[in-house]
Amino acid sequence: MVLFAVLVMPTGLSALEISRLSIQVTDPFDGLSDKTPPVSLPYHQFVYLRALAFDENNRPIPLFDQNGNRIVLPITWTVSSSRSAFIAPSGVRGSTSKLEATATPGKLTVTARADNGVVASIAVTVTFGFESPKLLPYGYAYGASGFGREFLGNAGISANFSGFTYANPPAPEGTQVAFLQGNGYMSLNYLFFDAGADYIVRFAAAQRGGIWQTRRQDFHVYINAAFLSAHTPVNTSYLEHRTPIFTPGAGLHPLRFYGINSAGGDNTAFIDDVRIEKVGAAVNLGFESPSTGSYLYAPVDAGWLFDGGSGVTTNDSGFTGVFTGAAFLPGTPAPEGRQVGFLQGRGSCEQAIGGFTPGQPYRLEFRVAQRGGIWQQSAQTVRVVLEDTLAAGIEGIPRSASLGEFRPASTAYTTQSATFTANTRSLVVRFVGLATDDSTAFIDNVRITAVSAPVGNG
C-alpha cells in the first residue's frame, strides 16, 4: 500500500478563501530542486508533497499568520489507482504530505482537495527501474542523481538504443537502465518498513553489447557497509540476479553497487528492475505461474528465480511432448496442474522462503522426471541445495548444503525427498541441473513439511 505522513498544526483557514490549488513535489534527498509532475517514483522510496493555495486574485495564500503560527489549509489528501494496493487511508489533512512508494509498480493519482471543492491532482508512476530523470530518446547521462539515487564516477542512466545500449535488448522495465562503467558506483536509498524482517534484492543485469565493450564487467552489491554479493552478467541479455538473504532493520538503508572491472579495459554492465522483497511463505510450488501455452525460459515474477537454462512449460509443449523423429506424441502430464518447471543442462531455479523454525526438522518432497524424445541427449541429474543467511566472518559467502542428487529413471514422475533441520527462519531452496549436454529434467509439486522427529541432512 501507499502510506502518508502529514504534519498538522492547530491553526485553520476558511476553505472559501481558496480558489486554486497546485501540488509541489520535492525530492527529499537533493532538497534543492522541485520535481515537475508527472513523477516517476522508484519503489520503496518517497517524495514530499505540498499543496500551494491561491485566492480569487491568484495571490498565494500564506502558510503562516501574522503571529508566526502555521496555517493549516483545509485540504484532504487522497491517492487512487486502478490497483487496489494503492488506496490510501482517508482523512489525511494539511498542506503537506509524504508519499511512500510501498506498493508494486503502477500508475496512481494523488489529489489535494479543499473543503470547498477546489481540486489539484498529479500523476505518479511507481517503478522498479531508472525512469527518472527522463532522458531524451537515445540519450544517456553520467551522474544522473535524484530520488535517493547517487551515481559517481563512470555511472549513470541510459535510454534504450543509446550509444551505450544500442547492441542490447530494450530495458526489462520502462525505457531506461542504470550503467556501471569501469569502477563506476551507484547508491540507491530504500525504505525498509519491518524491523527484524528478512529481505532479498532481485534485479536484472546484462553486459554491454557492441564494439566498445573490451571484455566483461563485474560488480559487487552492499547494504550499508556490509558486502552482500558479487555478480558478473552472463551476456548481453537481461537475466535475473539476486542477493543473499539479509536483515537490514527498519529505516532508510543505502543499497550500493560498485563496478569492479576485474577483467580490465572499458567494460560496462547494465542494471534494471531492482526489487526489494521481504522473504515470506513459499509460492508457486507447482510452477503454474506465469501461465504459458508452450514454454518460457527465465520467466520473471513467478516466485522462483530462473536462470537462462530453466523455466516453466505446459503439457505437450516442445519440451514435454515426445518427438520421435517421425511423430509428435503426448508426454506424461504434469503431476499437479498443467505446468512443470524444467532444468536444461546446467540450468537452475531457486526460491527464498521464510517461516521456518530454527531447530525444527523438515522434509522437502518433489516430483521429477526425465524429458522424453530424440532431443534428450542422455539424462539429467538434479541437485537440491539449501542456502541460509551469510556466514559470520565470511564476507559474501552464503552457507549452503546439498540435500542430495536425484537422477530420474524415466519419463514417469517419481517422488523424491530429503530431510533437513532449519538453522535460520529464512532459507533459499535451489534445484540445480548437472547435465553437461542438452538433457532436461522436469520438476513439479514441491512440498516442504515439518516432521515430528529430529533428523540429519540426507
pLDDT at 91: 46
The predicted model gives 367-387 an average pLDDT of 95
Position 38 confidence tier, pLDDT thresholds 50, 70, 90? low
Least confident piece of the model among 98-107, 210-219, 414-423: 98-107
**Calpha distance 458→455 (Å, rounded):** 8
> Does 57 have pLDDT greater than 60?
yes
The better pLDDT of the pair 190, 3 is held by 190
Share of the chain above pLDDT 90, in %: 55
Whole-number average pLDDT of the chain: 85
Per residue in 182-206, pLDDT tens?
999 999 988 887 888 899 998 999 9
Least confident piece of the model among 230-239, 317-326, 332-341: 317-326
Structural domains for the chain: 3-127 (2.60.40.1080), 140-278 (2.60.120.260), 295-450 (2.60.120.260)
- Block residue for cell numbers 496442474: 337
Q: Three-class SS of residue 95?
A: coil
Residue 444, C-alpha cell as written in the block: 513439479
pLDDT at 315: 96
24 Cβ neighbours under 8 A, 6+ residues apart: 34, 49, 50, 51, 52
Is the CB of residue 181 less than 8 Å from the CB of residue 266?
A: yes
pLDDT at 389: 62
131 Cβ neighbours under 8 A, 6+ residues apart: 40, 125, 174, 175, 176
> Does 12 have pLDDT greater than 70?
no
Position 395 confidence tier, pLDDT thresholds 50, 70, 90? very low
The predicted model gives 441-450 an average pLDDT of 97
> Does 6 have pLDDT greater than 60?
no
> Does 237 have pLDDT greater than 80?
yes
Position 212 confidence tier, pLDDT thresholds 50, 70, 90? very high
> Does 396 have pLDDT greater than 50?
no
Of 312, 306, 310, nearest to 287 by C-alpha is 312
Per residue in 107-134, pLDDT tens?
788 888 888 899 998 888 888 889 888 8
The predicted model gives 49-60 an average pLDDT of 88
> Does 405 have pLDDT greater than 50?
yes
> Does 84 have pLDDT greater than 50?
no
Residue 398, C-alpha cell as written in the block: 552464503
**Calpha distance 458→451 (Å, rounded):** 14
Is the bond leading into 172 cis (omega within 30 degrees of zero)?
no
Query: Residue 433 — φ and ψ, nearest 5°?
Result: -80, 140
